[in-house]
Amino acid sequence: MKKLSIFIVIGFVFIIYFSCNKIDPPYMKTTVDTAGCPTPTFPVKTTHHKTVLIEEYTGHLCINCPAAAILINGFKQTYGDSLFVIAIHAGGFAEPQTPNYTLDLRCTVGNDLNTHFNIQANPAASFNRKSYSGDKISYTTSEWETKISQAFQVGKKIDMQMIVSGYNAITRKVCIAVQTQYLQTLSDTLKLCVYIIEDSLIGYQKNKDASPEDVPNYVFNHVLRESVNGTMGDLLSNTQIQQNTIKISKYATILNSNINPARCHFIAFIYNFKTEEILQCVEAKLLN
């Protein structure tokens, strides 16, 4: 009887602990077995550069979103491979509407993020999820260039490389390997996310700068399609990790049938679990 009481107490503590430490609704994805994936060989890097991830919240019914997309594309041209973009279609402006706005670019991950960050309007954007005056989300496009610059000024703590390989056109299985190099000794709790992105999707888009404002054959790029390892990702480390330590995380996933592999790429990023600020990100195409 005493042993039974002990097990009941342990079970109760277990339930309390995990109930208090979950982030919100499920936010998980079952990954595929990495058996059969090729062994990745990462090049040795001696120089490291800071990267910034823009998460753009948008929708095909948002009349101001095309101008925001043009602005972000200009930032991408300026910063090149140091700047990455994810377009998140979620919320009321992303809902399908007949007869023309039937292309549905929403996904579970985008809906989760839209709720988690309490997006109030479109267009909106975050820059490495860095908090400015207590707010991670910006709705004022005139501030975006400054916020990108501020995000780049944050010191480099880690570096990342990613290899996407082993794609099987029949099974649609994809192998992903992410290498993390610690440029400093860190004790923060870090998490790793791997998202699937697709370019060149065509549909209607409302645009206040067009006449008429209903634009057919609009090209949607950087569209968030799904996650390889859940909306909030996997634990990378939660103890002190020494400078120059290298960790490799391996994943496999089955690409959804509605995603075109020729237009598909992956973005991986690492963020601080406590502050949610993204420390570094990397991008890799599925097919070269």
Give me the mean pLDDT over the 236-244 stretch: 97
Q: 27-39+49-285 in CATH: which number?
A: 2.60.40.10
Taking alpha carbons only, the member of 81, 75, 82, 76 closest to residue 50 is 82
pLDDT given at position 34: 86
pLDDT given at position 29: 54
Q: What are 190-206's pLDDT values in tens digits?
A: 999 999 999 999 999 99
Cβ atoms 252, 177 nearer than 8 A:
no
pLDDT given at position 11: 44
Q: What are 266-285's pLDDT values in tens digits?
A: 999 999 999 999 999 999 99
pLDDT given at position 133: 80
Q: How many alpha carbons fall within 13 Å on the CB side of residue 163?
A: 14
Taking alpha carbons only, the member of 182, 194, 157, 187 closest to residue 247 is 182
Q: How far apart are CA 254 and CA 249, in angstroms?
A: 17
Amino acid letter, residue 110: G
Q: Does residue 124 carry a pLDDT above 50?
A: yes
| Helix, strand, coil share of the chain (percent; to 5) | 25, 35, 45
Radius of gyration, CA atoms only, the chain: 20
pLDDT given at position 31: 63
pTM: 0.89
Q: Does residue 13 carry a pLDDT above 80?
A: no
